[in-house]
């Protein structure tokens, strides 16, 4: 089992990577030019949601591990400093779960919006639908570049 302090550092790094990294472009989309199709935008949003779900699950596992470590060390064998450290590790893990859950909610909202825009753009040729589709494509492109 990984030492709790090291686990907290690794977990925070993984969460940082999961929340800031965007899915890599495929060879097809990088050679197709700067614009994505609406279907690719929905696929990218779906992949971002999947990545956010994985990050949430990892952070929940780390929080559960920290909780078990705290429970296993409850007998009076350990001093208060160690108990306080274990509580801090658990609190840190719980905050990472909260951050990952918010990232997942954002990713779901983006995927839902992308799907809705794609479906409406296909059904309705109005200027508003076209503007929404263009905004979605710019948004997805900016996330890919970040």
End-to-end Cα, the chain, rounded Å = 35
Q: Is the pLDDT of residue 49 over 70?
A: yes
Mean pLDDT over residues 82-110, rounded?
93
Least confident of 1-10, 53-62, 66-75, 116-125: 1-10
Query: What is each CA distance from 69 to 33, 100, 122, in whole angstroms?
Result: 51, 22, 53
Q: Which span out of 6-20, 62-76, 118-132 was modeled with the highest average pLDDT?
A: 62-76
Q: Rounded to an integer, what distance in angstroms lies between the CA atom of residue 111 and that of residue 106?
A: 9
Look-up of token digits 């508003």:
128
Least confident of 39-53, 61-75, 131-145: 131-145
DSSP string for 74-120: -STTS-HHHHHHHHHHHHHHHHHHHHHHHHHHHHHHHHHHHHHHHHH
Q: Rounded to an integer, what distance in angstroms lies between the CA atom of residue 22 and that of residue 24?
A: 6
Q: Is the pLDDT of residue 135 over 60?
A: yes
pTM of the model: 0.64
pLDDT band at 52 (very low <50, low <70, confident <90, very high): very high
- Token duo for residue 131: 């503007």
Mean pLDDT over residues 19-24, rounded?
44
């Amino acid at each position: 089992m990984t030492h709790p302090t090291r686990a907290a550092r690794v977990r925070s790094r993984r969460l940082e990577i999961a929340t800031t990294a965007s899915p890599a472009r495929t060879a097809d989309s990088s050679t197709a030019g700067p614009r994505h199709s609406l279907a690719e935008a929905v696929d990218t949003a779906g992949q971002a949601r999947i990545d956010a779900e994985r990050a949430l699950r990892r952070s929940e596992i780390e929080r559960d591990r920290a909780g078990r470590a705290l429970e296993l060390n409850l007998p009076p064998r350990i001093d208060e400093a160690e108990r306080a450290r274990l509580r801090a590790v658990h609190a840190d893990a719980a905050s990472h779960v909260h951050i990952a859950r918010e990232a997942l909610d954002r990713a779901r909202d983006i995927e839902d919006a992308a799907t809705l825009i794609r479906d409406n753009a296909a059904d309705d040729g109005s200027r508003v639908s076209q503007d929404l589709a263009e905004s979605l494509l710019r948004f997805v492109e900016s996330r890919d570049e970040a």
